[in-house]
Amino acid sequence: MAVVTRDTRLVGEQRHLVAERLARWGVGSGSSADAVLIVSELLSNAMLYGQSNEIGVSVSSSPRETRIEVDDRTPGTWPARACTTDEDENGRGLLLVKALSDAWGIGRNGALVWCTVATDGAP
C-alpha cells in the first residue's frame, strides 16, 4: 500500500499514477476510467474527513477485477452518505463508488474503504 501525505493537491497526481499503472497492466479504458474516478473520490474523502496526515492507497488488478483500497488511518470515522440536493456540489462520492464498482465495503473500524471494478482487458 502506497502512503500519500494528506494534501488535496496530490489527488490529481494519484489519478495519473493509477491510470498509468492500469494501462501498463493492460486494463481496458472503460475499467480504468472507472477505477481512476473511484480512487479520486475515495482519496478526496479521506483527505477531507480523515484526521491522519498519512493515507494509504492500494490498487491491484487481476484478469477478473481491479481492487482499490483507501485507508485514511482514522479508526472510528465511518463513511456516511450525505443527504444532498440538486444544487449541492459535494456529497455524492460514495454514491459514485457504489454506482461504478461491482462491490464495495468498509473495513478496519471505518478507516479503510475498498471496492472492486470488473476488468476489461486483463493483466
- 3-class secondary structure, 120: coil
User: Quick one: average pLDDT of 94-117?
Assistant: 88
Share of the chain above pLDDT 90, in %: 51
Residue 61 domain-assigned (yes or no): yes
Residue 12 domain-assigned (yes or no): yes
Answer whether 78's CB lies under 8 Å from 92's CB.
no
Taking the C-alpha atoms of residue 32 and residue 40, their distance in angstroms, rounded to an integer, is: 12
pLDDT tens-digit map of 28-63: 999 999 999 999 999 998 888 888 899 999 999 999
Residue 7 is part of a domain; what is its CATH number? Answer: 3.30.565.10
The 3-state secondary structure of 79-109, one letter per residue:
CCCCCCCCCCCCCCHHHHHHHHCCEEEEEHH
Residue 92 domain-assigned (yes or no): yes
Taking the C-alpha atoms of residue 1 and residue 79, their distance in angstroms, rounded to an integer, is: 20
Residue 52 domain-assigned (yes or no): yes
* Residue 8 pLDDT grade (very low, low, confident, very high; cuts 50, 70, 90): confident
State pTM to two decimals. Answer: 0.84
Higher pLDDT, 2 or 37: 37
Grid coordinates given for 62 = 487481476
Indicate if the pLDDT at residue 83 is higher than 80.
Answer: no
The range of the structural domain enclosing residue 106 comes to: 2-118
Residue 123 domain-assigned (yes or no): no
Residue 80 domain-assigned (yes or no): yes
Residue 105 domain-assigned (yes or no): yes
Domain tally for the chain? 1
